[in-house]
Structures are given as structure tokens and as C-alpha cells.
Amino acid sequence: MKLDQNFYCGKKVEYIAKGLLGKVLHTTIEGIRTSAYIVETEAYSVKEKGCHAYNYKRTNRTGVMFQKGGIAYVYVCYGIHHLFNVVTNIEGEPEAVLIRAVAPIVGTNVMEKRRGVKGVSLTSGPGKLSSALGIHHSHNGISLSGNIIWIEEGMEIEDRNIVSTTRIGIDYAEEDALLPWRFYIRDNKYISKR
């Protein structure tokens, strides 16, 4: 059962980031189906400096985030890595949830082939999981209600098993780097680490 459009709109982005934990991310790319549990997320909002669209800064890249929630925002970082985000909130209010880590369910062998490695390093990081699932920057702006990338209900995560902490890799965001907007499932081995 795919998540309803309403899941992505009208709620606080940090609440959605938390709610995405335990959900299942599916992709059908190059005709190959893969699925994985979402185990780590980060929230990004227009109101804080960690976000590309901070202070409603609109460029060709961030334009996707100004659209209605429920679409994919994929961009390339450091020239090498594809980062996958879920756009949330209503049109004109750019907010997004970065998927930082997933746990493979279906198509693990395909992910191993795409990544060239096995084990936890398959999907334990934002650049890694995009590569493993076959997410490409050409998927930027596509709907999460379609048949290429979508999210379904997964396991329920109890509140006491959700850890919230500060985000990673955005030291330049100054005081906003201290926001506890990174969420992950306690004791999950696929959590990204430095």
C-alpha cells in the first residue's frame, strides 16, 4: 500500500522524517525491482541554513523543492554521489527529507552488483543507497506515487526505538547545525557512521 499524498503535505518536516523510519522504499529502475527499509533520515526546511533552499532561495536545482510534497529531489554532491530526498509540504514551501540509510529487503544481489561490495556498506549512507537502488539524478522531480520510485507502509517503529540527534556534514549551517533533525532506528546496523 503506497503512502497517501497527504502523508507528505501539511505536517512538520521533522515529523515526516521521523514517520518515514521503518517505511519501505521501492524502486523499479532499468526494469529491476528493489526494496529496502528506511532506517535513517534527516529533515531540511526552508527556515534553516542547512537547506539548499534556505530563505526561499530558488535556483534550477532547488526549484523541485518548491513543488508540492510527494516527489523525489535527487542531486549530485561532490561530483560523485547521488543524494535522494523526499519533498514535503505544500507548493511554495520548500522542505525535504534526506534518506540517509536503508536496509535491503528485495534485490540485494542487484545492489551488490551495482555497488561492487557486500554487507552493511551496501546502503549505509546517502550516496551508497542511491547507487544501490539505482537512483539517478535523472529521477529528479518524479512523483513518488508512480511506478519508478515509491514508498509503502512498513514496520511500526516504537518511539523509544527512534533516536534523534544532530545532522551530519553541514557544519557551515552554524546554529542550525545543532537542530536534532536526524532520525534513526536504534541499534540498526545499516546506520551511517563517519
By CB under 7 A, name the binding residues for DNA: 42, 44, 50-53, 57, 59-62, 65, 73, 75-81, 83, 85, 96, 98, 115, 117, 121, 125-128, 137, 168-170, 172, 192, 194
Q: Give the residue with the Cβ less far from DNA, 7 or 48.
A: 48
Q: Give the residue with the Cβ less far from DNA, 36 or 170.
A: 170
Are 37 and 106 in contact by the 8 Å Cβ rule? The answer is: no
Distances (CA, A) of 97 to 79, 106, 112, 113, 116: 21, 23, 25, 27, 27
Rounded to the nearest whole angstrom, what is the least distance from the CB of residue 152 to DNA in the complex?
Answer: 22
**Which residue is associated with the grid cell 527499509?**
37
Rounded to the nearest whole angstrom, what is the least distance from the CB of residue 112 to DNA in the complex?
Answer: 12
Rounded to the nearest whole angstrom, what is the least distance from the CB of residue 35 to DNA in the complex?
Answer: 19
User: In the numeric block, which cell numbers belong to residue 159?
Assistant: 518511539
Rounded to the nearest whole angstrom, what is the least distance from the CB of residue 5 to DNA in the complex?
Answer: 20
Residues with Cβ within 8 Å of 109's Cβ and at least 6 positions away in sequence, in order, are: none
Rounded to the nearest whole angstrom, what is the least distance from the CB of residue 76 to DNA in the complex?
Answer: 4
Q: State the virtual CA torsion across 92, 95, 99, 105 in degrees, nearest 10.
A: -60
User: In the numeric block, which cell numbers belong to residue 169?
Assistant: 556534514
Instruction: Name the burial class of residue 111, with classes exposed (0-12), middle (13-18) and buried (19+) by CB atoms within 10 angstroms of its CB.
Output: buried
CA pseudo-torsion sign 98, 193, 132, 81: positive
Rounded to the nearest whole angstrom, what is the least distance from the CB of residue 140 to DNA in the complex?
Answer: 7
Q: Give the residue with the Cβ less far from DNA, 89 or 192.
A: 192
Question: Around 143, how many Cα atoms within 13 Å sit in the side-chain half-sphere?
Answer: 7
Q: Give the residue with the Cβ less far from DNA, 56 or 153.
A: 56
